[in-house]
Structure 1
Amino acid sequence: MTTSAVVVAMPGNEPLADELAARLGLERGVATVRRFPDEESYVRIESPVSGRGTLIVCTLDRPDDKLVPLFLLAAALREAGAQSVGLVAPYLAYMRQDRRFQPGETISAHHVGAWISRSADWLVTVDPHLHRITDLSQVFSIPSRAVHAAGSVAEWIGAHVHDPLLIGPDEESAQWVGAVAEHAHAPFVVLRKTRRGDRDVEVSLPDVERWRSHTPVLVDDIVSTAHTMIETVGHLRQAGLAAPVCVAVHAVFARAAFEDLRAAGAGEIVSCDTIRHPSNRISLAPAIAASVRTLLPARGHQTRPMQSGSSNP
C-alpha cells in the first residue's frame, strides 16, 4: 500500500473521506464540484494526483443527481494523471432493478454497473442488494469488495439492547438477519411479506409469544418507503410486544418515511452511516478502510487488484 494515494470526496461525503484518509494514512485531496446556473455540472481537481492512486468517496443514494458529476470527477482525475481511480460507494444504487419485470423494461443494474466500471478501476460498497444478481462480478467488470455490516450491527445491538429478539421483515432478509443474530448470539424470526404494490404491503407475524420478555429488533438492509417496517411495527404492537428498535444498514428514508416510522410506534430508529441521516449510530468506516486497503495500488505499480469478493469484519 502506498501512503501517497489521494482521497477525494463528492459533496456530502467529507466525513467518511476524512476518516478513511486518517485511518489509511492517505492525503485528503481537494476538488470543486458544483452546478452551473443551467444545472450542468462543473468539476475541478485542485490537488496534485499525477502518478498517484486516487479514490472518490460518493455514496449513491438519490443517484441521478450524483452520477454525472461522479463520472466527470473520475475523468478529471485521469486527465490529471492519476495512476488509478477507485470508488468508495457505501450505498450502491440501482441494484434492485435486477431483472425485466415488464416487456420493454431495461435491467438498470447492468447498465449502471457498466458505466461505473468504465469510470473506476475498483469499487468498495456495503451490503449491496444482491437478489437475482448473486455476485458483484455479474454487474461490474472491475475488482470489487462488498463490506458486510452484520458484525458492526450486532456489536451495537449487543451494547445497547437488552434481551434482543431479531426480526427480519420478509423472506429476503432471512440470510442477512440470521448473520446479524449469529454475531449477536441472539434469537431471530423472519416474517412473511405479501407485496401488492409499491405502497401496499401485508406482513404476517409468526408466534412470538415465547419471546414476549425480549426486546424486538427489526433489522433490514435498505429502508426506503419504510412501509414494510411500519406494517411490522403495527403487528408487533398489536401482539403486545414492546416498541421495537428499528435498525437499517442503508437509511434511504424516502420522503416522510422516517417520520412515518416513528409515528407508527417504533422505538429507537438506528442506522449505519452509509447514507448521512440523523439516525446514524453505527460507523462502518473501520470495515470500509480494511477493504480499501486491499485495493490501493502499490507505489509506482499499475497492477490491478484481485477480482470481486466480500469483506466481513
Structure 2
Amino acid sequence: MSESRLKILSGNSNRALAEAICRSIGEPLGEATVTSFPDGESFVKINENIRGNDVYIVQATCPPTNHHLMELLIMIDAARRASAKRITAVLPFYGYARQDRKDQPRVPITAKLVANLLVAAGAQRILTMDLHSQQIQGFFDIPVDHLYASPVFFEYLAEQPRERPLVVCSPDIGGMKMAAAYADTMGATLGMVAKKRKSASSVEAMSIVGEVEGCDVLLVDDMTETAGTLTAAAKILRDHGAVTVRAAVSHCILNDIAVERLKAGLIDEVITTDSTPVQTHGLPIRVLSVASLLGEAILRITNNKSVTDLFKIKGF
C-alpha cells in the first residue's frame, strides 16, 4: 500500500500501550492533541487528515475513569466529524464492567449506559479484552471483538519450571469458567475459594473446594483493584498447605490498599498485562504486553479477516 488507510489515535489513559501497538504493526501513532482546559473540560484536536480512514482510538477507561471515558467519547465525536470511514473504540480495559446488572434496588446498569454512550458518540465497532462478564458484549448493537489475555499468560507460564502439582484456583464462584479453561489447557487440577464480600474493598475467604496441600497454586481473575479477593484467597490457600501462590490477573489497577496487602507476601508473583498502566512498587509483579495481540487484531479487522486465530495458544 502506498498510503495506509489505517489510523491509530490514543487518549491519555495508556499512551505507552498505543505506541507499542503501533510498533508491533509498523504504523505511526496518529497525531492528536488531547488535553484539558483549566476548568477540567477535555479538549481534543486531531492534527492530521483522517477523512475516509479506518480509525482506531486506543483508550482504557482506567482511573481516573470518568475523565478517560469522557476523553474517549470526545475523540470518537471528533473522528466522526472529521469524516472517518469507520471508528473502532479500542478499550483494553472496559471500566464500569462490574456494574452489569441490578443486584440491589434502585441501582443503574452502568455497563449498559457506557455502551450506549460509545455508540451515541459514533463508535461503529468495539475491540476489547477480558470483559468482567462476557454478556456485556450483548449491551452493544455494533460488532464487538472480545479478546483474551490467556494466550499471553500461557506463553509465559509454559516457560516456568514446574516442580510440584499445579492447581488452578478461582478466587470466587464467578471465575470458575475461566479457571476451568486454564486448568484444562495447563493439565492442572481445579479448585475454588468461596468468599463473602464485606464491602467494596474487603472480602472474607470462607472455604476451599479442592486439594492444595503440597501444591503450587495459580489464582486466575479478570481484574484486581484492592487485591482483597486475591490476598484473602492466598491466605486460606496457604493455611491449607499450598507451597506457592501466584496470581494471573488480566487488569491490574492497584490502589494504595492493594499495595499494602501485596507487601504482606501472601502472593509470590502477580502476572498481569499492560492493558492499564501498572506501577510495580517494588513488588513481584510481572507485566506482560498485549500490544502484539491488539495490533494483530487491528490489522485483521482492517483487512476483513477473522480474529479467531488470535485465541490459539502457544506452548501447551
Partner of 2:263: 262
Partner of 2:301: 295
Residues in 2 aligned to 1:294 and 1:274: alpha-carbon distance in whole angstroms: 20
Partner of 2:178: 176
Higher relative contact order (CA 8 A, sep 6+): 1
Shift of 1:292: 2.1
Shift of 1:297: 6.5
Partner of 1:272: 273
Once the two structures are superposed, the pairs formed by residues 216-255 of structure 1 within 5 Å of their partners are 216-255=217-256
Identical pairs, percent: 24
Shift of 1:95: 1.7
User: Does residue 153 of the first structure (1) align with residue 143 of the second (2)?
Assistant: no
Residues in 2 aligned to 1:52 and 1:208: alpha-carbon distance in whole angstroms: 55
Contact 2:191–2:208 (CA under 8 A) maintained in structure 1: no
SS at match of 2:256: coil
Residues in 2 aligned to 1:255 and 1:52: alpha-carbon distance in whole angstroms: 42
TM-score (norm 2): 0.86
Partner of 1:200: 203
User: Does residue 129 of the first structure (1) align with residue 132 of the second (2)?
Assistant: yes
TM-score (norm 1): 0.87
Task: Please report the RMSD computed on the Cα atoms of aligned residues, expressed in angstroms.
Answer: 2.5
Counterpart amino acid of 2:154? A
1:71 to 73, 84, 88: 73
Partner of 2:291: 285
Residues in 1 aligned to 2:203 and 2:269: alpha-carbon distance in whole angstroms: 24
Q: Which moved more, 1:287-296 or 1:87-96?
A: 287-296
Q: Which moved more, 1:58-67 or 1:238-247?
A: 238-247
Q: How many residues align?
A: 301
Partner of 1:15: 16
Shift of 1:295: 2.5
Residues in 1 aligned to 2:168 and 2:233: alpha-carbon distance in whole angstroms: 13
Counterpart amino acid of 1:290? E
Q: 1:161 to 1:229 in 2, by over 3 A?
A: farther
Partner of 2:30: 29
Q: Which moved more, 1:138-147 or 1:197-206?
A: 197-206
Shift of 1:12: 4.0
- Which consecutive residues of structure 2, in runs of 5 or more, have no partner in the other structure? none
Q: 1:51 to 1:207 in 2, by over 3 A?
A: closer
Once the two structures are superposed, the pairs formed by residues 75-90 of structure 1 within 5 Å of their partners are 75-90=77-92
Shift of 1:161: 4.9
Q: 1:57 to 1:96 in 2, by over 3 A?
A: same
Contact 1:153–1:180 (CA under 8 A) maintained in structure 2: no
Residues in 1 aligned to 2:176 and 2:100: alpha-carbon distance in whole angstroms: 19
Residues in 2 aligned to 1:9 and 1:167: alpha-carbon distance in whole angstroms: 36
Contact 2:97–2:136 (CA under 8 A) maintained in structure 1: no
Which 4+ runs in 1 deviate beyond 4 A?
Answer: 308-311
Shift of 1:149: 1.7
Q: 1:228 to 1:113 in 2, by over 3 A?
A: same
Partner of 1:312: 311
SS at match of 2:127: strand
Partner of 1:185: 187
Shift of 1:4: 2.5
Q: Which moved more, 1:107-116 or 1:284-293?
A: 284-293
SS at match of 1:274: coil
Contact 1:218–1:229 (CA under 8 A) maintained in structure 2: yes
SS at match of 2:159: helix
